[in-house]
Amino acid sequence: MSSLPAIICEITAPRSAQAAALAEIAGLCARDAGQRLVVKTLVIGRSKTGVNEPVLTLHLPVELASSQNQIWCLACRLACFCPDARVSVLVQGAFAGAEKAARTRRRRSA
């Protein structure tokens, strides 16, 4: 694996056993695709929208999205190996990162 930043995988599932299984599958698929993956959040229960299907969201910076075909292969693998789950990729541009940093600075100064 390279020194590229890790992809963050957020998992929402109705049951903890399902979330754990999805986390394991995501880790194996990432390893097979040559990507570093960090499961950052496991949310158990219904999503905010009331949808009861599991959801895997890959969060990555725009630099990775534009230069790493393996990320798209990872998303496809996850969709194949987790057919009952919704798989999405959230690409965060430089503006999103700057906005998040500004919010953090405002919170610290308050």
Return averaged pLDDT per consecutive 10 residues of the chain, 110 residues in all: 76 90 94 88 68 87 77 91 93 66 64
* CATH (domain of 64): 3.30.429.10
User: Which pLDDT does position 28 carry in this prediction?
Assistant: 94
Number of domains in the chain: 1
User: Which pLDDT does position 1 carry in this prediction?
Assistant: 47
Domain presence at residue 1: no
Domain presence at residue 63: yes
User: Which pLDDT does position 49 carry in this prediction?
Assistant: 62
User: Which pLDDT does position 35 carry in this prediction?
Assistant: 87
Residues 90/58, Cβ–Cβ less than 8 Å: yes
User: Which pLDDT does position 60 carry in this prediction?
Assistant: 86
Tokens 């393996």 locate to 70
Long-range contacts of 65-72 (CB under 8 A, 24+ apart): 65/89, 65/91, 68/4, 68/35, 70/33, 70/34, 70/35, 71/7, 71/33, 71/35
Residue 40 belongs to domain spanning: 7-109
How many C-beta atoms lie closer than 10 Å to residue 75's C-beta?
Answer: 19
